[in-house]
Structure 1
Amino acid sequence: MNEVPNALDGSANRSIQGVLFDIDDTLVDLRAAAIAAFLELTTEELRHVDASEASVVAAAFADDKAGAYERYMAGELTFLEQREVRLQYSFGLVNAVAPAGESYQAWAATYEKTVRSYWRPFDDVLPHLAQLRAMGIPFGAVSNNLESYQRAKLEIAGLDGFDVVVGSDTAGAPKPATAPFLAGCRQLGSQPKRTLYVGDNPVNDYAGARNAGLPAILLDREAVHEDFLGLRIRDLWDLAGLISAGFDSFATDS
């Protein structure tokens, strides 16, 4: 991996005065945690499939191939219901019977405890946050989940320093609505046009932030958005150095 450039001067010319991040699969490797927890808890139910098939099933659950989380964001499902829909969908791929009723309730409780044990930040996150602190740039997070849940996630993952965390519940609307982004800017005390937003979703993160007047960049860790036409990076290693050097391509029009 590239080393973050150690250029901490030039703050007077710096266009970015604050940074807001998405959390899931931007700061915290939620996909890896979900896959690991799923596989740990479904050994018996998936005993009839080989390891490669089980991995496909786990990925379908983690990646929400059922589209359940968007239904949760729209108010059609509760948080536990969206997770159950994802479980049923993924099990159905290999004709397995998913836990239901009280069995699902027990499974969901165990899954929640297990997945939390796997919450970890990506390798580039802590060094990048250290760079932002050294540069005197405040940072926070804006997420499409409950604020209290995401604060706990950051703490468990070892990511301190996030005084500003905006959830879809406290913002009154989920991304890509403008409200969460603007709430994050208000809490940071920075102007939207001088607040960089970094996230992994082209619509909820990049387009949503841009529509709210924030400069934005897509964090495409797995290179799945090769045709994306906006600003895109593969990791965070160089981002602090670019900001520190007065990289103005992030800034919106004054």
Structure 2
Amino acid sequence: MEEFNIFKDVKAIFFDFDNTLVSFDKLSNEALVKVAEDILNFIEENYPNVNTTKEELTKNLIEISKKLDEEGIYDRRVWWEELLKRYNINAEMEDLYEWTQIYWSIAGNNTPYEDSLDAIEYLKRKGFKLGIITNSDGEWGDKRQRLNKFPLISYFDVITISGENNIKPKPNVQPFILSCEKLNLSVSQCLMVGDDPIKDCLAAKKAGLYSILVDREGKVKFAELYADFVIQNLKQLEEIF
């Protein structure tokens, strides 16, 4: 189709992981609620003079998580510490570790989107090189373990976990450029698909790649300003390629 000629030289397609290939935000919020409950118990036992509620802690924790995530701070330990700072409270390392384990025991059980499985199989059959470029889960998280649970992980030719092994996290351009180099392809031959308009799409374009934004719920305002193309689900990649 004439309108898709912009992608005619693409030989490799990279994907973000969370909220692109697998569902994440819903489980993450459920996990934050559970952590807030445990932190409330901790406060009641150790700081009885601090007045707060589960609702207040949850609201503050979700607010902090969004802020730090946008800043590229993925260590959940830092999230818990930031919450406690608001109440002038300190916790031991073992408490921070326990809350992180509670979080990932829930947030790490990610279900692949059905359209992601269909799209990956289709693109592999078409002969594209495939990759994943995703940010680290931070200290005490295990992104590699979560990635390995993806049913079609063996279909990917390159996996880059930015924020680990001295690779700067997205939206830095480094993980995009490194991923292209691993496939011996120029950035102009590669495409990034992701749900984050800034970390995935704008960052990829800054690195010289093409980008496609997957906006499943139509929440991104002026989405076309961030990416070369916008889709609602990954099945639509079959219409482009």
Task: Identify the TM-score tier after normalising by the shorter chain.
Answer: 0.7 to 0.9
Superposed displacement of residue 66, structure 1:
3.5
Counterpart-to-counterpart distance in 2, 1:66 and 1:227 = 21
Structure 2 residue 49 is the aligned partner of structure 1 residue 57 = no
Task: List alignment gaps of at least 5 residues for structure 1.
Answer: 1-12, 74-78, 244-254
Q: Deviations over 1:9-50 (max 9, x none)?
A: xxxx9422110111122112221221233344555749966x
Distance 2:132 2:24 in 1: 15
Matched position secondary structure for 2:67: coil
Cα distance, 1:184 vs structure 2: 0.9
Deviation, 1:99, is: 8.7
CA contact (8 A) 2:60 2:83 kept: no
* 3-state DSSP of counterpart to 1:208: helix
Partner residue of 1:100? 91
AA of the residue aligned to 1:192 = V
Give the whole-Å Cα distance in 2 for the aligned partners of 1:153 and 1:175.
18
* 1:99-118 deviations in Å (ceiling 9; x for gaps): 933433322223223322x2
User: Is the counterpart of residue 138 in structure 1 residue 116 in structure 2?
Assistant: no
Q: Take 2:236 and 2:98, find their aligned partners in 1: how far apart are those partners?
A: 44
Which residue of 18, 22, 46 corresponds with 1:28? Answer: 22
Question: For residues 1-254 of structure 1, what are the structure 2 equivalents within 5 Å?
Answer: 14-40=8-34, 42=36, 45=40, 57=59, 60=62, 64-67=65-68, 70=71, 72=73, 79-85=75-81, 88=84, 100-101=91-92, 102-116=94-108, 118-145=109-136, 149-161=142-154, 162-168=156-162, 169-170=164-165, 172-228=167-223, 229=225, 230=227, 231-243=229-241
Identity %: 26
Contact kept, 8 Å, 2:194 with 2:213, in 1: the verdict is yes
Question: Partners of 1:58 and 1:42 in 2: how far apart?
Answer: 9
Conserved? CA contact 2:77–2:96, under 8 Å: no
Cα gap change, 1:33/1:191 in structure 2, threshold over 3 Å: closer, same or farther? same
Of 19-28 and 99-108, deviating more is: 99-108
Partner SS, residue 33 of structure 1: helix
CA contact (8 A) 1:66 1:85 kept: no
Corresponding residue number in structure 1 for 2:48: none
Count of residues in Structure 1 that have an aligned counterpart in Structure 2:
216
Question: Is the CA contact (8 Å cut-off) linking 2:135 and 2:170 kept in structure 1?
Answer: yes
AA aligned to 1:226 is K
**Cα deviations by residue, 1:234-253 (Å, 9 ceiling, x for unpaired):** 2111113311xxxxxxxxxx
Q: Is the 8 A contact 1:39 1:58 kept in 2?
A: no
- Residue identity opposite 1:139 in structure 2: L
Q: 1:157 to 1:84 in 2, by over 3 A?
A: farther
CA RMSD in angstroms comes to 3.4
Provide closer, same or farther for how the CA distance between residues 109 and 197 of structure 1 changes in structure 2, counting only shifts above 3 A: same
- The TM-score with structure 1 as length reference comes to 0.70
TM-score (norm 2): 0.73
| Residues 57-95 of structure 1, C-alpha deviations (whole Å, 9 max, x = no match) | 39826x82332562637xxxxx24333146559xx7xx9
Shift of 1:178: 2.1
Q: Compute the displacement of 1:226 (Å).
A: 2.4
